Every structure is written in C-alpha cells, then in structure tokens.
Chains A and B, each alone.
Chain A
Amino acid sequence: MHAFANPTRFLKLASWLTPLLLVGGLVLVAISLVWGLFYVPPDRLMGETVRILFIHVPAAWLGMGGWSAIAISSLVYLVWKHPLAALAARASAVPGMVFTAVCLATGSIWGRPTWGSWWVWDGRLTSMLVLLFLYAGYIALAQASARDGGSYKIPAIFGLVGAINIPIINRSVVWWNSLHQPPSITVGKSAIDPAFLVPLLIAVLGFSLLFGGVVLARMRALLADFQAEARLRRKAMEAA
C-alpha cells in the first residue's frame, strides 16, 4: 500500500483510472436507471414508487461509505502521517455529502406517497441528517486548516469521532420504532426479489465507480494545488 502512496505513482495510476471509473460508472448507472424506470414491474405494496429504490439506496450506501472512507484515511494519516491519506479523506467529503443530500431528498420524495409525510423525526432520518451536517462541518474544518497552512490533525480527529454516527444510522431501524423499513439486505441474505435486486446491484456498482472517479479527480485537484503552491513558495524563498 505504501508503494502506491507515492504521489508520482499515484498520479500515474490516477491518470488512466479517473476517466475509466467516471465513464464506466456513468454507463452502469444509465443501464440500471433505464432498467429500473422502464423494465422493473411495480411493487405489490409500493406500486410505481419502488423505482426510487435504484437511486435512494446507492445514495444512502455511498453517503455512509464516504464517511467511512474519511475515517479510514484519517486513521491512516494519524498513524503513518502520509499526506496522500489526508488528501483521500478531504477528497471523499464532497461526493459523500452530495450522496447524503441525494439520499435525504429522494427519501423525502419517496416518503410522501408511501408514508403520507415528507419528513418524520425518527432515528434513521435524523441520524442521516446529522451525517449531512457532519460533512458540512468537516469540509469547513478541512478548508480552514488547509488555508491556514496547519496540519490535517484536527480534521482527522473530527473524521474519526464522526464515524460513531455510521453504526447509529445502520442500526437505527432496529433499535428504534421507525416508519422506515428494516434492512432488506444483510450479509449473505436478501429479502428483495431478483427482479429488483439485479438492477439495484448494478446501480450500486455504477454509483460506486462514479464515487471512486470523483474522489480520484478531487485528489488530483488538491494535489495539483498543493504542488503549485509549494513550487511558488520555494521560488519566493530562493529569491528572498
């Protein structure tokens, strides 16, 4: 892993991997959404609204996945002090926040015809909203620490502490009464009919590839900014 944590090697790998992940993700997402929209039968209970599943579920997983990536990268940074781990954590924040917002918005749209309400303050929805606020706080903190030239230590600690919300989101429908349904997919088990499960898995794969492509693009942008600034600073010091 340390071999790939070298910025030159990372850029060599990311230069072909970024467009591959973005284009591959877009193709798979397009296939799954067309499949979900036009070829999946309506559900016995939820009717046509079941089609929202193919956007809402991948967005929810990636909203939580984004923070898991922040926490793991932050831990790697705190233990090995590798700057690429800090970049990976910072790069995961915006896509994680976007998917969390998409999850909340599509869930709210789904809730209106299914539950009769756009929003309920239950465990699942509230903990997901807390995740959105955690992302906003993390992005502000990481930007402030980068602007002031400080270390990434404080955002890394925030990223680790915030990870406590992930198991809370996951178990919220089991721990508390909720309008939200309990987990349909657990390790090795699925309560979803294959007619819905196959396009759902393609959607999850496609959105995940897109997420990976966006994270790599963000890492390249942050790294390029850092390299340009470092070069200018070095030149200014030489001139002084």
Chain B
Amino acid sequence: MIRENLNQWDFVIGAYVVGIAGTLAMAVWAWQTMRAAEKRRDKVREKVKRK
C-alpha cells in the first residue's frame, strides 16, 4: 500500500475556512440586503405620504 505524507490538519483547516467564510458571508449579506430594502421601503412610504 502506498501512503502519502499528507498533513491532515491542512485539510481540516481548509474545510473550516470554507465553511465559516461561506456561512458568515451569507449571514452578513442577508442582513445587509434586508436593512437596505427596509430602508428603501420606508423612504418610499415617506415620499408618497408627503406628496
């Protein structure tokens, strides 16, 4: 049997970086787009009310 000299921790850290970065980026993006959309809606509501 041929055994490769791989450091298992490199793969563990790689997987954690991919998982954590993907999840955090998604959560931050969802929160920011929600805040921006709700701000836009409130602005439109005010604008329409004033006219």
Contact = CB atoms under 8 A, between A and B. Distances in A.
A and B bound?
yes
Contacts, number: 108
- Range of interface residues on chain B? 20 to 34
Interface residues of A, number: 42
Contacts of B48: 231-232, 235
Interface string A181-210: 000000000000000000000000001001
Nearest to A37: B16
A225 B15 contact: no
Contacts of B8: 47-49, 113
Interface centre among A112, A207, A224 (most CB of B within 10 A): A224
A219 B17 CA distance: 28
Interface of B: 4, 6, 8-9, 11-12, 14-16, 18-20, 22-23, 26-27, 30-31, 33-34, 36-38, 40-41, 44-45, 48, 51
7 contacts: A22-B31, A55-B16, A109-B11, A110-B11, A113-B6, A116-B4, A213-B30
